[in-house]
Amino acid sequence: MPISPRATLAHVAVVGATIAVTLVRPAWADAPDAGAEHLVATMECDRAAEPGRVRCSVEARADGGAIVWGDVQIVDVPSFITPLKGRIGVSDATTREPSAWRWALALVARQTGQGRVHARVRLLHCADADKTRCVPVVREVTAQLSVGR
């Protein structure tokens, strides 16, 4: 079956657009964390004497550039823990400075135990003051949790 001129023209247009986008793409966009090598995230949880509310904090720090957006997703908790929220968003950040963002979060311990809490910190990091060179950055964080022991 012969290929119609219309199908050939559409194929050439798609290939041309793909090549154009590839050539126009800036070199700094090749690496997902380009320009954010010095961005660190940490998580800590308070020790709880008995079951109940357990407070944790997450902090992201940038050594250069600016953090302009961020959130925290709770990825995994021990079986005796229930997170009060699965996602702690921008409006829940307790500190929003260009070089540091902080979030406070609460978990509920239904019984005593120990385990690790895993979370994902998603950030938008800009390498320049004009905020034209921004890249999404993801950092996985873990904290030890101890209730009643």
pLDDT tens, residue order, the chain (149 aa) = 556 655 455 454 444 444 333 334 344 344 555 556 789 999 999 999 999 999 999 999 999 899 999 999 999 999 999 999 999 999 999 999 999 999 999 999 999 999 999 999 999 999 887 888 899 999 999 999 999 96
Is 103 part of any domain?
Answer: yes
Is 112 part of any domain?
Answer: yes
- Dist CA 124 CA 24 (whole Å): 22
Is 17 part of any domain?
Answer: no
Is 119 part of any domain?
Answer: yes
Is 7 part of any domain?
Answer: no
Is 5 part of any domain?
Answer: no
Q: Provide the domain count of the chain.
A: 1
Is 42 part of any domain?
Answer: yes
Q: Which domain holds residue 100?
A: 32-147
**Terminal CA-CA length for the chain:** 75
Is 139 part of any domain?
Answer: yes
Q: Look at the block and give the residue holding tokens 């229930």.
A: 82
Q: Distances in Å between the alpha carbon of 21 and those of 32, 62, 106, 131? A: 17, 30, 44, 21
- What is this structure's pTM? 0.74
> Which pLDDT does position 121 carry in this prediction?
98
At 90, which CATH number?
Answer: 2.60.40.740
